[in-house]
């Protein structure tokens, strides 16, 4: 009888959200999943390629996949896998492999199939750690998205980063340093300016200095 081999080690991942990969064409996260290899017993986590496709081993039911939330923190990925190892072992115990047309095919008996189907709902499990990406940055900051008149833009970006980890919420890996946070804030301010929102003078001057907008200072700050 094969024994499950958990290959996912959160301590070996530099990224906090290793399954969060944005699709380059629609800004949506790529599908993330936990997998069970019926041939080896390996269990791990991965994401789909840029274009949705499945490998031949997955099509042949040798590699079984279970979708999870791509915004899962690495510790939660490890926890999800650990909590479901007994079920994954049941699936493995109730599987068989056979060769057909020179290809390996996986099969599950009724017990294996029922446990497989039970794990298809992992994606809906509520996460305890929130991931803050550039798309929800304004909401996360409770719409206090500008520096005070006394603050520089750099100081404000550093202040925002200090919120990292507050109330079990962490910034996405691509927002976890000051330069990347400043880039995200700049994009947010530019979007607000282009939709008619008045900006504080220090932010307006910053956008003009960086050649981010085609509006005058008076237009940006709403001066009469």
pLDDT digits (tens, 9 = 90+) for 197-206: 999 999 999 9
Confidence of residue 223 (pLDDT cuts 50, 70, 90): low
Q: What's the Cα-to-Cα distance from 29 to each of 64, 126, 136, 198, rounded to whole Å?
A: 21, 17, 14, 32
pLDDT tens, position by position, 82-135: 999 999 999 999 999 988 888 888 999 999 999 999 998 888 888 999 999 988
């Amino acid at each position: 009888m094969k024994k499950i081999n958990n290959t996912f080690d959160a301590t070996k991942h530099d990224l906090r959200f290793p399954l969060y990969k944005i699709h380059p064409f629609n800004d949506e996260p790529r599908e993330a999943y936990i997998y069970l290899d019926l041939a080896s017993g390996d269990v791990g986590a991965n994401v789909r390629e840029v274009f949705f496709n499945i490998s031949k081993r997955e099509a042949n039911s040798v590699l079984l996949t279970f979708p999870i939330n791509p915004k899962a923190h690495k510790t939660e990925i490890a926890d999800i896998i650990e909590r479901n190892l007994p079920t994954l072992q049941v699936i493995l115990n109730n599987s068989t492999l056979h060769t057909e047309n020179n290809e390996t095919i996986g099969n599950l008996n009724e017990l294996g199939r029922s446990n497989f189907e039970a794990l298809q709902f992992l994606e809906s499990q509520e996460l305890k750690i929130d991931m803050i990406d550039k798309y929800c940055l304004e909401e996360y900051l409770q719409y206090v998205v500008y520096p005070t008149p006394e603050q520089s833009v750099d100081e404000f970006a550093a202040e925002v980063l200090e919120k990292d980890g507050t109330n079990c919420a962490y910034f996405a890996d691509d927002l976890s340093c000051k330069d990347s946070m400043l880039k995200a804030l700049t994009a947010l301010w530019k979007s607000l300016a282009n939709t008619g929102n008045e900006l504080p003078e220090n932010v307006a001057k910053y956008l003009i200095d960086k050649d981010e907008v085609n509006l005058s200072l008076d237009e940006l700050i709403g001066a009469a």
